[in-house]
Amino acid sequence: GQQLNQSPQSMFIQEGEDVSMNCTSSSIFNTWLWYKQDPGEGPVLLIALYKAGELTSNGRLTAQFGITRKDSFLNISASIPSDVGIYFCAGHISSNTGKLIFGQGTTLQVKP
């Protein structure tokens, strides 16, 4: 089935550093979404992207919808301890179904 390849699988960084993670696929996506999940909780929506080339920011977070529609990246600037968690990319392949395809997640740890 369709798959999203998300990288890196995990990151361990110093507080204050910038972070970048990305997702790629062999399939074309109509939307890209980035979620953050904390232990014992459901994924929380961070950013939604709807058009190829779109660049959207939410505070210290910036995400882009790749021109080819097969990739997306998420950047976090000036990381803080509460950024710790698992980040998932997700997207819709078809406009006819609400089914979201998820990446495998990037685990972020921040050292104070």
Least CB distance to another protein at residue 111 (A): 22
In the Cβ-directed half-sphere of 39, how many Cα atoms lie within 13 Å?
Answer: 4
Helix (H, G, I), strand (E, B) or coil at 19: strand
Shorter beta-carbon distance to another protein: residue 99 or 111: 99
Helix (H, G, I), strand (E, B) or coil at 20: strand
| Interface residue with another protein, options 12, 14, 41, 82 (CB under 8 A) | 41
Least CB distance to another protein at residue 39 (A): 11
Rounded to 5°, angle at Cα 3 from 91 and 43:
45
* 55 Rama class: left (phi>0) / alpha (psi -120 to 50) / beta: beta
Binding pattern to another protein, positions 68-107, x when CB under 8 A?
--------------------x-x-x--x-xxxxxxxxx--
Please report, as ranges, the residues that interact with another protein according to CB under 8 A: 4, 6, 30-31, 33, 35, 40-45, 48, 88, 90, 92, 95, 97-105
